[in-house]
């Protein structure tokens, strides 16, 4: 029963990792953009939510109605005005430019907000829990985060396979030059894709910041967790990304069951094992 508990807690923990990873998975899947600034964009979203909650008195989750459109617009503008210009010269230019964005965001946040650790307060839901038979108790909030991740992935699945926009995303991912010949404005489409990635990044940032303290330097570790979830699941596969997040969460919670000092390391070890056994991830979809 103790192990069932570990498994459940780990899966729920994986929900937040999956949310971290969805935006990264999207931008890589559609435009082969390896976004080094992804973790910092998660933290930036948390700071935007911090400002919104302070200015409007909204609670953090309600603040998403402002944070999500702001981050979508930010993502659209950054892709349109900057990242689009890096996509024709191979893998290196986007890496360098997003690395630069990462440094700018970290130092910008440090300048404006200082190095203090912050937290978003959501109230009683943070500590509420449900009792399951067998003495297992699960937190309402981790469950909520997991459900959000699940709904997020499902809605992306619908977007990709049931809408014209999703069809265009898949076509551009397959063959950008031919998509252009079919009347698709790739640059505009990429900007929309990055905007959508930022929607998930904003949700991830706010839900993370309710659970954990953050400061301007919290981004890179989120980036690593997101990367691991994406790679474990397989590049370009959005359900794989969810599963990658869950696997990472379960590995961490198994590690923590032995000793709390093992939690983070166990997640990284699980990632390394997947990398050795199946270098392309468990469910790879992207061909190159």
Partner 1 sequence: MTLLQTKNLSAFYGDFQALFEIDVTVNEGETVAVIGANGAGKTTLLRSVAGALPVARESVLFDGQPIGDKSAHDNVLLGIAMVPEGRRLFPSLSVEENLLLGGHSKRAGTWNLKRVYDLFPRLYDLRHMPAPTLSGGQQQMVAIGRGLMSNPRLLLCDELSLGLAPVVIRDIYVSLAAITAERTAVVLVEPDINRALDASSRFYCLLEGRLALSEPSKGFDRAAITAAYFGL
Distances (CA, A) of 272 to 6, 224, 253, 269: 21, 13, 17, 5
For 194, the 3-state DSSP assignment is helix
Residue 283 binding partner 1, by CB under 8 A: no
Number of chain residues interacting with partner 1 (CB under 8 A):
19
- The token pair at 206 is 């706010």
Position among 65, 155, 174, 272 found at the interface with partner 1 (CB under 8 A): 174
Q: Is 237 in the site for partner 1 (CB under 8 A)?
A: no
Q: Which is nearer to partner 1, 2 or 185 (CB)?
A: 185
Binding piece for partner 1, criterion CB under 8 A, among 34-42, 91-99, 164-172, 209-217: 164-172
Q: Which of 9, 11, 106, 186 touches partner 1 (CB under 8 A)?
A: 186
Main-chain phi, psi angles of 283, to 5 degrees: -130, 70
Q: Does 2 bind partner 1 (CB under 8 A)?
A: no
* In the complex, minimum distance from the CB of residue 178 to partner 1, in angstroms, rounded to a whole number: 4
- Residue span binding partner 1 (CB under 8 A) among the ranges 84-92, 167-175, 247-255, 262-270: 167-175
Q: Determine, following the binding rule CB under 8 A, whether residue 177 of this chain makes contact with partner 1.
A: yes
Q: Are 98 and 35 in contact (CB under 8 A)?
A: yes
Distance of alpha carbon 94 from alpha carbon 175, whole angstroms? 19
Q: Which residues contact 137 (CB under 8 A, 6 or more apart)?
A: 129, 130, 131
Task: Say how many CA atoms lie within 13 Å of 8 toward its Cβ.
Answer: 16
Q: Residue from 119, 180, 264, 268 that binds partner 1 (CB under 8 A)? A: 180
Residues within the interface to partner 1 (CB under 8 A): 164, 167-168, 170-171, 173-175, 177-186, 285
């Amino acid at each position: 029963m103790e192990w069932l508990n570990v498994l459940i807690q780990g899966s729920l923990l994986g929900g937040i990792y999956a949310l971290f990873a969805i935006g990264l998975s999207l931008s890589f899947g559609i435009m082969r953009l390896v976004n080094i600034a992804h973790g910092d964009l998660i933290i930036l979203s948390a700071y935007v939510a911090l400002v919104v909650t302070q200015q409007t008195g909204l609670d953090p989750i309600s603040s998403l109605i402002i944070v999500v459109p702001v981050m979508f617009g930010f993502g659209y503008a950054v892709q349109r005005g900057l990242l689009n210009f890096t996509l024709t010269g191979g893998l290196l230019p986007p890496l360098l430019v997003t690395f630069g964005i990462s440094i700018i965001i970290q130092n910008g946040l440090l300048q404006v907000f200082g190095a203090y650790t912050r937290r978003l307060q959501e109230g009683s839901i943070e500590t509420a829990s449900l009792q399951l038979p067998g003495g297992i108790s699960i937190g309402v909030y981790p469950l909520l985060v997991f459900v959000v991740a699940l709904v997020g992935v499902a809605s992306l699945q619908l977007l990709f396979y049931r809408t014209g926009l999703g069809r265009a995303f898949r076509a551009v991912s397959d063959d950008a030059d031919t998509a252009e010949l079919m009347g698709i404005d790739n640059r505009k489409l990429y900007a929309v894709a990055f905007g959508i990635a930022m929607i998930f990044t904003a949700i991830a940032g706010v839900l993370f910041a309710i659970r954990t303290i953050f400061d301007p330097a919290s981004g890179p570790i989120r980036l690593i967790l997101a990367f691991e979830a994406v790679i474990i699941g397989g590049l370009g596969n959005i359900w794989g990304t969810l599963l990658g997040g869950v696997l990472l969460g379960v590995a961490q919670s198994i590690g923590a069951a032995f000793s709390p000092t093992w939690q983070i390391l166990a997640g990284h070890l699980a990632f390394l094992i997947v990398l050795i056994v199946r270098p392309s991830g468990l469910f790879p979809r992207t061909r190159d």
